[in-house]
């Protein structure tokens, strides 16, 4: 298979594409639709965090045992996202996006009526099946419809809504738990989904191929097996009595499936994840740097909520309100992204910003039950601001040296990496907390939180070395 040219900038051929004309004056409607889907998906990825203690009590579980309800959703996203490009080529972006919204809303309804942890996990998986197409289809359509000169600006706008969803999720979850019922954190997605279906019919352009390539089912199954086995192994690692033999076997099998996929992908004309794109330096740096960064920071929302509620005795609503400074920071720093990229370029900006994020993570280890709110709020604001820049720049890096014809596959691979690293990041954070927890009192939670954030700060700092491998002229 020929490798993609890093220097190729010619537009993709459209002889095999079926697409409706898409004029510049319709940008706004499409941007709002994609932004709304990013917001809904990000909201649902984090809204459970603040409600974890309340849901655990209702379902007769401990808070740390609820990690499966968090990781099952994001892992399902990671596993199914690679199928999105083929689905779009075969059925069209509008139909795929509309179906995804419908399945996501149905999964939300079933989450809201769950009576056991097992039922909740299965419903979260159904949510993930629907949510798997929302972000990659949105990115793909924007890459196709938006002029390349406007793409970073548009992605910055869309990413802002995703960040708002991630940060406002815990606050909304806390408010619903404290003043209503935790089940509403899922049920509110149903009317939102109905509005989304209406917008999809009005604003979503139709992109598909006359003749779609054959779906790489074998490669898809290899990738899914490797991902699921790794996460199952991490579940074993979090148990009170670690089953080392079974965990080791799962890891070995996961690695074997991963190696088998690499071998298979080189011998199939249309793999579910085109590893030949990794020959472009900006692509592999984007994916590996994003994976390492998110592995470190993805569990931070849950850690802060557990620290404030279990360690400091705050109410769910009060803990949720502490996420607002992060949202304000993310919004406030957005105007710096374009200017910083122009002045510094991707390499210097990502290298320096990653180190700043790691330093801010380490500073959370200084917090305690008696830390004044006047110190906590600025720290959360700064962390939200620099993380907002990090997400936006990482999300656009993968497209910088690719022809638009590779946009669909690049979007799929970026989204897969994002959610795979999120699932393992959440699992890592909870495993560290559980391992370091020496009791169930507030002091034990505070101590475990402090050591955990130090460890994930070191992991995040390591990502800066990956971004340092970028070419200096990538802008």
Query: Domain residue spans in the chain?
Result: 27-215+272-467, 216-271
Torsion of CA 234, 235, 237, 239, to 10 degrees: 170
How much of the chain exceeds pLDDT 70, in percent?
89
pLDDT at 13 over 60: no
Q: Which CATH superfamily is domain 27-215+272-467 in?
A: MFS general substrate transporter like domains (1.20.1250.20)
What integer pLDDT is reported at residue 26 of this predicted model?
Answer: 56
Dist. CA 303–CA 309, nearest whole Å: 10
pLDDT at 428 over 70: yes
The pLDDT of 263-278, averaged and rounded, is 83
Mean pLDDT of the chain: 80
* Helix (H), strand (E) at residue 179: helix 148-179
Tell me the pLDDT tens digit for each residue of 139-175.
778 877 777 677 777 777 787 777 677 767 777 777 8
Q: Work out the pLDDT band at 84, boundaries 50, 70, 90.
A: confident
- Residue 122: CB partners within 8 Å, gap ≥ 6? 110
Q: Work out the pLDDT band at 473, boundaries 50, 70, 90.
A: low
pLDDT at 223 over 90: no
Which residue is listed with tokens 């020929």? 2
CB 402, CB 280: distance < 8 Å: yes
Query: Bigger pLDDT: 359 or 474?
Result: 359
What integer pLDDT is reported at residue 2 of this predicted model?
Answer: 42
Q: Work out the pLDDT band at 293, boundaries 50, 70, 90.
A: very high
The pLDDT of 243-269, averaged and rounded, is 85
What integer pLDDT is reported at residue 123 of this predicted model?
Answer: 92
What integer pLDDT is reported at residue 12 of this predicted model?
Answer: 38
- Residue 317: CB partners within 8 Å, gap ≥ 6? 171, 174, 175, 177, 178, 179
Query: Bigger pLDDT: 436 or 9?
Result: 436
Q: What is the DSSP string of 253-309?
A: HHHHHHHHHHHHHTTSSS-SS-GGGGGSHHHHHHHHHHHHHHHHHTTHHHHHHHIII
How much of the chain exceeds pLDDT 90, in percent?
13
The pLDDT of 244-249, averaged and rounded, is 79
What integer pLDDT is reported at residue 15 of this predicted model?
Answer: 36
What integer pLDDT is reported at residue 236 of this predicted model?
Answer: 67
What integer pLDDT is reported at residue 242 of this predicted model?
Answer: 58
pLDDT at 109 over 50: yes
Q: Work out the pLDDT band at 460, boundaries 50, 70, 90.
A: very high
pLDDT at 9 over 50: no
Inter-helix orientation angle 27-58/134-145, to 10°: 170
What integer pLDDT is reported at residue 272 of this predicted model?
Answer: 79
Least confident segment among 71-80, 144-153, 311-320: 144-153
């Amino acid at each position: 298979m020929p490798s993609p040219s890093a220097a190729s900038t010619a537009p993709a051929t459209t002889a095999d594409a079926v697409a409706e004309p898409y004029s510049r004056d319709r940008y706004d409607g499409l941007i709002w639709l994609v932004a709304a889907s990013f917001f809904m998906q990000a909201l649902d990825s984090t809204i459970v965090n603040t409600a974890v203690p309340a849901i655990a009590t209702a379902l007769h579980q401990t808070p740390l045992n609820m990690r499966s309800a968090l990781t099952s959703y994001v892992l399902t996203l990671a596993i199914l996202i690679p199928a999105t490009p083929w689905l779009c080529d075969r059925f069209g972006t509008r139909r795929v996006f509309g179906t995804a919204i419908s399945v996501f809303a149905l999964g939300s309804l079933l989450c809201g009526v769950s009576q056991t942890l097992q039922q909740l996990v299965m419903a979260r998986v159904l949510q993930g099946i629907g949510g798997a197409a929302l972000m990659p289809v949105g990115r793909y359509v924007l890459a196709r419809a938006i002029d390349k000169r406007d793409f970073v600006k548009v992605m910055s706008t869309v990413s802002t809504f995703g960040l708002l969803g991630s940060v406002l999720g815990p606050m909304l979850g806390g408010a619903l738990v404290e003043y209503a019922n935790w089940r509403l954190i899922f049920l509110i997605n149903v009317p939102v989904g109905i509005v989304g279906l209406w917008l999809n019919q009005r604003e979503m352009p139709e992109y598909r191929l006359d003749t779609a390539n054959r779906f790489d089912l074998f490669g898809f199954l290899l990738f899914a097996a490797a991902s699921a086995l790794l996460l199952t192994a991490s579940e074993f690692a979090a148990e009170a009595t670690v089953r080392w033999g079974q965990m080791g076997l799962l890891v070995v099998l996961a690695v074997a499936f991963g190696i088998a996929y690499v071998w298979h992908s080189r011998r199939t004309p249309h793999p579910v994840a085109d590893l030949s794109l990794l020959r472009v330096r900006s692509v592999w740096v984007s994916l590996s740097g994003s994976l390492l960064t998110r592995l470190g920071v993805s569990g931070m929302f849950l850690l802060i909520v557990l620290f404030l509620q279990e360690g400091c005795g705050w109410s769910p609503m009060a803990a949720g309100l502490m996420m607002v400074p992060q949202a304000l920071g993310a919004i406030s720093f957005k105007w710096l992204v374009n200017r910083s990229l122009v002045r510094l370029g991707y390499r210097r900006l990502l290298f320096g910003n990653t180190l700043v994020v790691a330093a801010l993570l380490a500073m959370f280890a200084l917090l305690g039950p008696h830390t004044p709110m006047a110190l906590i709020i600025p720290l959360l604001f700064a962390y939200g601001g620099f993380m907002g820049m990090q997400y936006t720049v990482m999300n656009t890096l993968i497209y910088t040296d690719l022809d638009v014809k590779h946009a669909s596959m690049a979007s799929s691979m970026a989204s897969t990496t994002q959610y795979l690293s999120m699932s393992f990041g959440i699992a890592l954070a909870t495993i560290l907390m559980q391992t370091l927890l020496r009791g169930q009192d507030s002091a034990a939670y505070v101590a475990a939180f402090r050591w955990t954030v130090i460890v994930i700060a070191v992991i995040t700092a390591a990502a800066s070395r990956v971004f340092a491998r970028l070419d200096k002229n990538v802008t």
